[in-house]
Amino acid sequence: MGSNPTRPTLFLKLEIKQLFGGFIRIKVVPLGNVPDSILDRVKNALNSAFKMFVEIQRPERLPKYAYNPIRNQYRSDLLLDFLAKHFKGRVLGITNEDLYVEGLNFVFGQAQLNVRVAIVAFARLNPTFFHQPEDQELLEKRVEKEVIHEIGHVLGLRHCETKGCVMNFSNTVFDVDKKTKFFCKNGRAKLGD
């Protein structure tokens, strides 16, 4: 039997329509110390981009087993496993720690397509990481884009090459700055907008 190319899009639209009180429900879990201003920006971004009902959870300690002292980084895949094991439903972890996945020097975040868990790390999104002057607004804008990007993956979206789309792959912080916080026309269609 041949594959049905419209099925993934239809499935995604049906998944999005399974809303709780008109909203998709998601838990945001601070891993370590995350400022309230960042959590507020994350909550507003998720509500605005996806009409999500956001539940900010109490902060969790990062599991020691996910830390690599040689790299001074946490493995994002192990943090995703931790979140999946300890929380039900859709979950976004947010941390100020530096993350990596095997084969990459670092990641701003990680999620798998159509899986319920994602994580965003804002250590490298902070201008001070690169010895630049502190700029809270720039940091929060970058966090907002990466949160929307990773939850886009959770909802089934792949990387996009349309200029400015929030689903553009970001290899550097400059790539984050070039994209917008909005989905392109194709991404919006897949999300049912």
Q: What is the pLDDT of residue 7?
A: 37
On the question of pLDDT at 17 being above 50, the answer is no
The 10s digit of each residue's pLDDT in 128-149 is: 999 999 999 999 999 999 999 9
What average pLDDT does the segment 3-8 reach? 40
This model's pTM is above 0.85: yes
Integer Cα distance of 48 and 94 in angstroms: 18
Element (H, E) at 100: strand 99-100
Secondary-structure percent of the chain, ordered helix, strand, coil, rounded to 5: 40, 20, 40
Average pLDDT over residues 54-61: 96
Domain 21-190 of CATH type 3.40.30.10: no
Q: Is 97 an active-site residue?
A: no
- Locus of tokens 């397509």: 113
pLDDT of residue 23: 67
pLDDT of residue 13: 43
Q: Is the pLDDT of residue 186 over 70?
A: yes
SS3 of 120-165: the string is: EECCCCCHHHHCCCCCHHHHHHHHHHHHHHHHHHHCCCCCCCCCCC
Angle in degrees, CA 117, 159, 66, rounded to 5: 35
Nearest to 187 by CA among 161, 178, 129: 161
Look up residue 165 and give its two tokens.
């789309």
pLDDT at 100: 98
Confidence band of 10 (pLDDT split at 50, 70, 90)? very low
Q: Which pLDDT value is given to residue 22?
A: 57
Q: Quick count: other Cβ atoms within 10 Å of Cβ 176? A: 21
Mean pLDDT of 157-185: 96
Contact 100, 76 (CB under 8 A): yes
Angle value at C-alpha 89, between 107 and 14, nearest 5 degrees: 95
Q: Which residues share a beta bridge with 67? A: 74
What is the pLDDT confidence band of residue 93, given thresholds at 50, 70 and 90? very high
3-state secondary structure at position 108: coil
- Arithmetic mean of pLDDT, 177-193: 93
Cα gap 66→160, rounded to integer Å = 30
Q: Of 97, 144, 146, 150, which residue is the catalytic one?
A: 150
